[in-house]
Structure 1
Amino acid sequence: MFLPLKDTNPLRVIPFQIVTVGLIAACVATFLWQVPLPEEAGFEAILSFGLIPAVFFDFKDLPPDLAVIPAGATLITSMFMHAGWLHLGGNMLYLWVFGDNIEDAMGHVKFLVFYVICGVAATLAHGLSDPDSISPLIGASGAVSGILGAYLLLHPRVRVIVLLFYRVPLPLPAFIVLGGWVALQVYNVYLDGGLPDGDGGGTAWWAHIGGFAAGMLLILVMKRKNLPLFDRGRY
């Protein structure tokens, strides 16, 4: 519906969004490692480093050649794996547009902690929605969803330049862009219960909602004390 291109919300405290750029670089580097793998090896990498709810929650075992890291570690590694260029590109675009202002709002170290916690919360929300699932969960979208939740509370009226229906450039307030985004997630949960398709190719809507909620809660305690909520920002 909305494809964000940029916001009109300059940095106020930090000179450069080093963690945001570093996270993008890490995700891109991980995907570039995935790309040349043969099809079977690529799928095995996703099984090894993605989070499989049945393994994490029900303590089912992966074959020894796939269990290369502890199941708990996949809470982190799954955030850096992606299923394709569009999956990667969409997540990195949202991270680039909205992540810098959240990093600015709390500082570099806190932002990295915030990102990881949101990603873990998103992964747990997805896993708890279907703990017996054997489909691996991968992608940064849960952590990025946390950024969107925080941005909605901090800068709801800042203008975001979007492509409406991926064609028409249009400046819209962030509360419309992000409110529309979260409404779409809730609608899809209503349609299919928030679970991806049985072949693992669907979207984990509960992960998005879990990450979004975590971001809204965490920003309340992690933002700079002198930064108000619902800030108009600068156009």
Structure 2
Amino acid sequence: MIPIHDDNPTRAFPYVTVGIIALNFLVFLTEPHFGRGGSLQVAEYFYRWGLVPWEVTHGRQLNLTGCLQACFTNKNVYLALLTSMFVHAGPLHIAGNMLFLWVFGNNIEDTLGPGRYLIFYLLCGVIAGLVHTALNASSVYPTVGASGAIAGVLGAYLVLFPRARVLTIAFFVIVPLPAVLVLGLWFVLQLFTGPSQQIGGGGVAWGAHVAGFIAGAILVLLFGGRGRARERREVPPPPPITPLPPGWGPLGP
């Protein structure tokens, strides 16, 4: 199922969500894809900016034979918990992630506010990365992508807006479905067939998806999301505009 829109209007423009999406695409355009670099350069790029569990658990970067020395000079292996969130493996990878972020992220930003939302987003991504590292402590494959952070957004959306209707492409048909069904099914699928985020056949990063989702569901409550969502729903609409009688201007007849 592919979500394309929801019926959950926002009160303000989602500057942070749009900024995150723009930054991800900007980083993607600088990656050595599309024939601008060979396979070695692509691998080096992912090892340079991706999250490598072995590096985090050992506190030092890998010494990879055949890699350009400049690529692995002074890599901060812990900072990779953040940088890996803005690197993607291909067009479909980034397109899918950014679509989910656009559909669901604006409502979480509107509820929490821009500052809280940015902290929330990054925390979900870091927690997802740490759980993935704990589950794959000896893995030397780089993990990239924003899926862990976006999974946190999905978890928060499910907690705050379970009854919202999401316009979804399902079996080549566009149908409105409740968010609890769309996001609940997404979560269940991650437990069994979650898409791989790893480069070079390192396996499925389902742990990052599941951890991000659960982290988002919990953190949004700790950030006061439920109360803020209630206030958001209770904001009264503006009073209707009463038309002036015929022949009357703004100052009278």
The aligned residue for residue 163 of structure 2 is 157
Q: Which runs of 5+ in 2 are unaligned?
A: 64-68, 234-253
Report the alpha carbon displacement of residue 37 of structure 1 after superposing the two structures with TM.
Answer: 3.5
For residues 199-224 of structure 1, give each alpha carbon's deviation from its aligned partner in whole angstroms, at most 9, with x where no partner exists: 33643110000100110011102145
Report the alpha carbon displacement of residue 59 of structure 1 after superposing the two structures with TM.
Answer: 3.1
The aligned residue for residue 211 of structure 2 is 210
The aligned residue for residue 24 of structure 2 is 27
Determine whether 1:50 maps to 2:47.
no
Radius of gyration: which is bigger?
Answer: 2
The aligned residue for residue 147 of structure 1 is 153
CA distance in 2, matches of 1:19, 1:37: 31
Report the alpha carbon displacement of residue 60 of structure 1 after superposing the two structures with TM.
Answer: 4.7
Within 5 Å, which residues of 2 pair with 1:1-235?
2-12=1-11, 15-34=12-31, 35=33, 36-63=36-63, 65=70, 66-165=72-171, 167-188=172-193, 199-200=200-201, 202-224=203-225, 225-228=227-230
Q: CA separation of 1:172/1:216 partners in 2, compared to 1, >3 Å: closer, same or farther?
A: same
The residue type equivalent to 1:125 in the other structure is: V
Aligned to 2:4, what secondary structure does the other structure show?
strand
Aligned to 1:172, what secondary structure does the other structure show?
strand
Q: Percent identity?
A: 43
Aligned to 1:199, what secondary structure does the other structure show?
coil
Q: CA RMSD in A?
A: 2.2
CA distance in 2, matches of 1:195, 1:91: 13
Contact 1:19–1:103 at 8 Å: present in 2 too?
A: yes
For residues 127-169 of structure 1, give each alpha carbon's deviation from its aligned partner in whole angstroms, at most 9, with x where no partner exists: 111100001010000000000000000000100000003x110
Contact 1:52–1:134 at 8 Å: present in 2 too?
A: yes
Contact 1:48–1:67 at 8 Å: present in 2 too?
A: no
Aligned to 1:72, what secondary structure does the other structure show?
coil
Query: TM-score, with normalisation over the residues of structure 1?
Result: 0.88
Question: Could you list the runs of 4 or more consecutive aligned residues of structure 1 that deviate by over 2 angstroms after TM superposition?
Answer: 35-39, 58-65, 194-203, 223-229
Contact 2:143–2:199 at 8 Å: present in 1 too?
A: no
Q: Which has the higher contact order (CA 8 A, sep 6+)?
A: 1
Query: TM-score, with normalisation over the residues of structure 2?
Result: 0.82
Contact 1:136–1:200 at 8 Å: present in 2 too?
A: no
Q: Which runs of 5+ in 1 are unaligned?
A: none
The residue type equivalent to 1:172 in the other structure is: L
